[in-house]
Every structure is written in C-alpha cells, then in structure tokens.
Amino acid sequence: MAKTRQITSHWTGPTEGWTLVIHGGAGQLKREQVGAEGDAHARAAIAAALDAGASILAGHGSALDAVEAAVRVLEDDPHFNAGRGSVFSAEGINELDAAIMEGTTREAGAVSAVTKARHPVALARAVMEQSPHVMLTAAGADRFGAEHGLEQAAPAWFHTDERWRQYEELRAGGTFDADLKYGTVGAVARDTQGRLAAATSTGGLTGKRWNRIGDSPVIGAGTWADDRGAATSCTGSGEHFIRVGAAHELSARVRLAGAALGEAGDGVIGEIGAIGGVGGLISVDHEGRGGWSFNSGGMYRGMARADQPQVVAIYGDE
C-alpha cells in the first residue's frame, strides 16, 4: 500500500487577462541539497522563463507561442533536465522527449528519444504544424527535424559534467533518480483571447534503458490543453502519471464534473500518490485560474499574471 504523501498546492482565482505558469521539475529539493548558489540560479532561470512567456502574452500574443518561449529558455539552461543538461541513458546518451498542445483545436505534437534537436519543444511544434502526425520518435523524429530546418546540436551541447557524474554514480550502484528529482520542465498559459496551451520537455530518468519514455510527450498523460477545461504540464514518476492519464484527467474533471481547477489538480495528485506516484503538475483554465499541486518535497515553479507580480518558488513551505 502506497504511503500517504502531503500535497502542497497554490491556486489563484479567475482573471480577465493572461496567465502563465511554469515548472522546472519536482523532487525532494531540500534547501541544504539545492544550496545557495543552486537556489539563486534556479530562481533566476524560472524568472527568465516567465519573462520570455509573459512578454508575448502582454503583447496579446498566443498562449502557444508563450509556452514554447518559456520552455525554450529552460531547455537552454544546463541546470534543468531538458535540452542542454539532460540526463544520460544507460548507454550514455541524451534521449530527449517533448510535447506541445493548443487548446482551441486540440492540435498537438510530440517527440521522444530524440538526440539532435537543440530545442525539442520546437521540434514537437513542428510535428504538430508541419506533419499529419502527433508523435514521432528517435531517428525518424531527428530526421524530420533536420529536413524541416530545426536547429540541430551535437552531443557535446547537451553534455554537462554534473549529469555525467550522476550517470557514473548510478553505474557504480547508486540510485540517483529514486524519489529524488524529476527535472522535467513545462509551461501552461491562457492568453488574452482565452486560448490555452501547454508544453513539456524532459531528458527522462538517469540510466533509463530500452528507450524508456515517460509521461512528458504522451498527450493526455504529461501534457494536455483544452479550452473547454484546462491546460496542464506534469513532472514526476512518469509511469504513474501515464496510468492516471493525469493531464487529461484534470481537464475532464473541470469540463465534465464541474470541479474547480484547484480541486481537480489536487485530486489528480492525490490519485497519483495513492498508486505510489511522486511529482507535481501545473495547470490553467479557460477563466485564467492557475497554479500547481505536488506531493514531493518541492517543485521548481513560477507564475505570472497580467494583474499580479511574478511568483517564484522551489520548496514545499513557500
């Protein structure tokens, strides 16, 4: 029987303006573990991602453009497990997953196990807009990206010494990713026209085998957007989020059961915890409510709204 985990959450009320929420992964995230330097860098990176998305939304741009812009900032930051700085698989390779979805038409794009796209979220958007498909994987997705002019990067771009150290530690018999940190990044937004969008990007789990794919690129599990309900991006033990269909489940509770956004978000995290899952999610609904819920020790997270100052947080007691 899974142990009961405390749920930490924060949800705002509706707004007539825009709303942007981002995350940079969930895990134990204790202050002594993160350290003063890591804390400062993470907060600055989250703020930069919020700025990138907020500038688009404040200019009456689309939620889709805003979530991509925010995620791209975090993909370029080596301290997050997405894009540059992604963890290594059992074969010592960076295998990247990403998804993006917009809520008006429910068009979506996703990629998994890609190794060459500098910005996997941009590749996922290209799949959505320039192919008849929703998800491409591995060599085929890499080839699609090259054929469609997506910026490519050599393996050295994704490599960081700290991620390699974690990989070596795991190979030596450690358990680095066990209930420690799921560094997926993601963003959700409602724009001034009421449109929703969600995007998620990750390097997965350190030492993952057999081209393992988690929830991040699975539409309906780690990423979902529907203007009639909610847009959600998840982070955590991906297998549990897939089993719950977490991102779609939250939206369905809002759209079909009439649940408030916070009630739905907390309920989904509670269900994930009940089957042994750990992690968190961010979400925004069609009336601009936004926030997060997680059952881990902390989650890198931030929110910006047209009518409120930015909020940036890491630990469970913030």
Task: List the catalytic residues.
Answer: 184
State the residue for tokens 């009456």.
Answer: 60
Full DSSP string of 61-128: --HHHHHHHHHHHHHT-TTSSSSTTPPP-TTS---EEEEEEETTT--EEEEEEE-SBS-HHHHHHHHH
Residue 207 CA to residue 221 CA, distance in Å, equals 22
Residue 258 CA to residue 229 CA, distance in Å, equals 9
Residue 232 CA to residue 108 CA, distance in Å, equals 13
Residue 207 CA to residue 78 CA, distance in Å, equals 18
Count of H helices and E strands in the chain? Answer: 9, 14
Residue 230 CA to residue 261 CA, distance in Å, equals 8
Report helix, strand and coil shares of the chain as percent, to nearest 5: 35, 25, 40
If one counts every other C-beta atom within 10 angstroms of the C-beta of residue 33, the result is 13
Residue 255 CA to residue 285 CA, distance in Å, equals 10
Residue 8 CA to residue 262 CA, distance in Å, equals 11
